[in-house]
Amino acid sequence: MKVAIDAEKCQGHGRCFALAPALFDSDDLGQGVVIGDGTVPEDQHDAARLAQQNCPEYAISITE
């Protein structure tokens, strides 16, 4: 599984890094960014899906 954030859609609500801090962080402007190359460890799959479901702009995509 991999996660990605569409920077054009992200409005910086911070739900992704609040819900899945091992996968997401914020940049200097408060926008969400993916940590590393976006590969999600198996024990973080539920957190990735939770972050995706809670993004108000639908900026997070997951590829299985």
Per residue in 10-57, pLDDT (tens digit) is: 999 999 999 999 999 999 999 999 999 999 999 999 999 999 999 999
Q: What is the pLDDT of residue 60?
A: 98
State how far the alpha carbon of 11 is from the alpha carbons of 16, 27, 58, in Å: 11, 12, 10
According to the model, what pLDDT value does residue 42 have?
A: 98
What is the chain's length?
64
Question: pLDDT at position 22, please?
Answer: 98
Tell me, what CATH number does 57's domain have?
A: 3.30.70.20
CA angle, residues 50, 55, 59, in degrees to nearest 5: 115
If one counts the domains in the chain, the total is: 1
Q: In the prediction, which pLDDT does 13 show?
A: 96
pLDDT at res. 23: 98
pTM: 0.93
Instruction: Note whether 32 and 26 are within 8 A (CB).
Output: yes
